[in-house]
Structure 1
Amino acid sequence: MTNYSGVSRILSSYLGQENGSETAKTPDNFGADIFIDDFEDEFPMGDSADTEGWTPESRRANEGRPWGGKFGDRPKVHEVNQPVKAQERGWRLLDLHPNRNHKEEYYRLAGTPAELRILLQLVRATREMVGKNINFEEWFEQWEKGFPDAKEQRNGNFLLTGDKQWDRIKKPESRPRFKEWTTSQQRIDWGFRVIEYWRDRSNESDSVVLSGTDLQLVNHVIQIEYEAGGSNSKNKNGNWPPLKGQPQIKLYFLGDNKASAEISLRIMDKTDDPKNPLPKIDKLDLKNYARKIKELFAVPSLFVWEKGREVISYRNRWQGFEGWYLCKNEAAGRALLLKLLAITDSVLDEASIRLSTAPAGTFPTNPPSVFVLGEEVKSEIQRPVVDVKFHRAEIMLPKLKTPIALVEKSHIVYQ
């Protein structure tokens, strides 16, 4: 007869460890309860000798900064079903809050304690690798003040004091601010948040709505600051930068039945005016514009602008745009804008886009004829749905009387 007492003892011991019972007498009990306590504190070493040879950065847990944050911001693991219920079902259920002060972010994990120990560490590592560990509120607290805590290596243009400091930082009343639009439950359900952002908190009329994860919001705010991305972004004088007087690139398109169209954009970071402090535009710049236009609009084939009845407008003078364009649909309009912005290496700003659709029947494909001086005259089709191909491009310099040809179809003219 086989004796199973040894196997039973081993399984009982393993079950006791998996249950993580506080009353277990086994000295090597590494159950979930003991692991969780150390996990929340990032496994601090009790004896300083155990950390000999560690880098200063890796000692943060022993310095009361578990996982690189404040002690009060460390993770929190909440047990949903207690050990008794877990023994009945064969697994335990935990909620991991990466930051115990932000209950809206949590991850529900289930398994045996051995499995949970792996899952907890995988979730934590994954958040750090994808940037999910960034907390927007903490980042913004540093951002609005100009990162004052980053001062040890601060010897560049942006000093904590001096004329080159961001102007709004000198005056707390003009610093940026944001307002949360989403509730904690919406952030859980949607997986993103929505905020309203002001570059200058004293100007209530100048704001932009942003959405995304915390990391995406950081990128949005930085883009608005350094690329002037807000729909109402203004310069330090409170006005849009003027377009008149800036170099202007014009693109011409042709289609069937004599259909034609043209688009223009301004170069905002160059000038041909000797009195203007901007860098002076030169022949190399023109060659670069010609090369980019050819690559964007003529290679491998001529770009097709799908014109139609819908209107997509883009107003961002900082990027040299203030106009509207007829298109078949939003996708066609965005495709055109992306090409135009790429000429000057600009990035599409969502806050600057407006799309409008004409009511059905407003622009008929076969408009009725009208009588003029007693004679019937055929009406022209307004906003026809037609494809036009890129034909040529030129640049106008305000100080010159004639335009300079850049590209003709797929050939660079300016050499």
Structure 2
Amino acid sequence: MMDVHESRKFKPQCFLYFLEDYQDVEDGFSPVAGEISFRITSHSSESITEVYLKSLANQVKSEFGRGSGFVWKKGKTNIAYTDKDNGLQLRILCRSMAEGERVVKAALSLTNTAFESDRLSEVNNANPTSAYPTVPGTVRILGKSRKRPRKRPIADVRFQYALLHIHGLPNPICLLDRTGTFRNPLIDA
């Protein structure tokens, strides 16, 4: 029987954070954010090393931190890529299947996992136009007309930073930070 500490939920988890450029944010709305996460199944909290962390940080920089940063074209199409043995259960909101595949392949490059097209699927809503309207309308709150929150907004989000959560550590390790938010990222952007 597998020890509970060997299960996937205790494996190190990498988070990639994205944010819409402020000059592109529509008036009255907050910037659109994005997040991609995956488990590192080849390591445990005990076996992970500084050398591996620096290697991962350099891979993140190479794939997502080059130039002005990786841009993910978010949209209403929901793409799923599942490979639990390799720590992947990705859900990518994008504008097309091709864009979803591009983002998935970029994430896979960090896990040294080969892309398998049969693991990629599109998850559709029966009526996406009414479920995810582009212009959500308004609602009256405290006597004022206010915009309803957007569901699955269309926006370009740019890579900001990557964090690694290791079970047993109280704070995540910042692998790479393009924003200057975190002190002492593992490598410089």
Conserved 8 A contact 1:294-1:410: no
Conserved 8 A contact 2:72-2:157: yes
1:335 & 1:288 partners in 2: Cα distance?
Answer: 22
More helix by share: 1
Partner of 1:376: 145
2:18 & 2:107 partners in 1: Cα distance?
Answer: 13
Shift of 1:377: 3.2
Partner AA of 1:246 in structure 2: K
Shift of 1:265: 0.7
- Asked whether 1:302 is paired with 2:74, we answer no
Partner AA of 2:186 in structure 1: Y
Partner AA of 1:299 in structure 2: R
Shift of 1:293: 0.5
Which aligned segments of 4 or more residues in structure 1 are displaced greater than 4 angstroms?
Answer: 372-375
Partner of 2:57: 290
Conserved 8 A contact 2:60-2:110: yes
Conserved 8 A contact 1:248-1:396: yes
- Asked whether 1:254 is paired with 2:19, we answer yes
Query: What does residue range 53-68 of structure 1 map to in structure 2 within 5 Å?
Result: none
Shift of 1:410: 9.4
2:75 & 2:166 partners in 1: Cα distance?
Answer: 31
SS at match of 1:334: helix
Partner of 1:52: none
Aligned match of 2:8 in 221, 243, 248?
A: 243
1:372 & 1:407 partners in 2: Cα distance?
Answer: 40
Query: What does residue range 288-367 of structure 1 map to in structure 2 within 5 Å?
Result: 288-358=55-125, 359-362=127-130, 363-367=132-136
Partner AA of 2:185 in structure 1: V
Shift of 1:408: 1.4
Conserved 8 A contact 2:81-2:91: yes
SS at match of 2:8: coil
Comparing 372-381 and 390-399, the one that deviates more: 372-381
Conserved 8 A contact 1:302-1:410: no
Conserved 8 A contact 2:173-2:185: no
- Asked whether 1:398 is paired with 2:177, we answer no
Comparing 291-300 and 370-379, the one that deviates more: 370-379
Shift of 1:281: 0.7
Aligned residues: 171
Offset from partner CA, 1:31-68 (integer Å, 9 cap, x none): xxxxxxxxxxxxxxxxxxxxxxxxxxxxxxxxxxxxxx
TM-score (norm. length: structure 2)? 0.81
1:323 & 1:406 partners in 2: Cα distance?
Answer: 20
SS at match of 2:157: strand
Conserved 8 A contact 2:19-2:34: yes
2:120 & 2:114 partners in 1: Cα distance?
Answer: 12
2:49 & 2:108 partners in 1: Cα distance?
Answer: 20
Shift of 1:376: 3.4
2:69 & 2:44 partners in 1: Cα distance?
Answer: 29
SS at match of 1:361: helix
Partner of 2:28: none
Shift of 1:357: 3.7
Conserved 8 A contact 2:79-2:100: yes
SS at match of 2:129: coil
RMSD: 2.4
Structure 2 unpaired stretches of 5+ = 26-30
1:314 & 1:381 partners in 2: Cα distance?
Answer: 24
SS at match of 1:390: strand
Q: Give the percent of matched residue pairs that are identical in Structure 1 and Structure 2.
A: 30
2:52 & 2:110 partners in 1: Cα distance?
Answer: 11
Question: Greater RCO between the two (CA within 8 Å, min separation 6)?
Answer: 2
- Asked whether 1:264 is paired with 2:13, we answer no
Alpha carbons of 1:410 and 1:299: their partners in 2 closer, same or farther (altered >3 Å)? farther
Structure 1 unpaired stretches of 5+ = 1-235, 274-279
Conserved 8 A contact 1:298-1:390: yes
Partner AA of 1:406 in structure 2: L
* Structure with max Cα Rg: 1
SS at match of 1:244: helix
- Asked whether 1:407 is paired with 2:176, we answer yes
More strand by share: 2
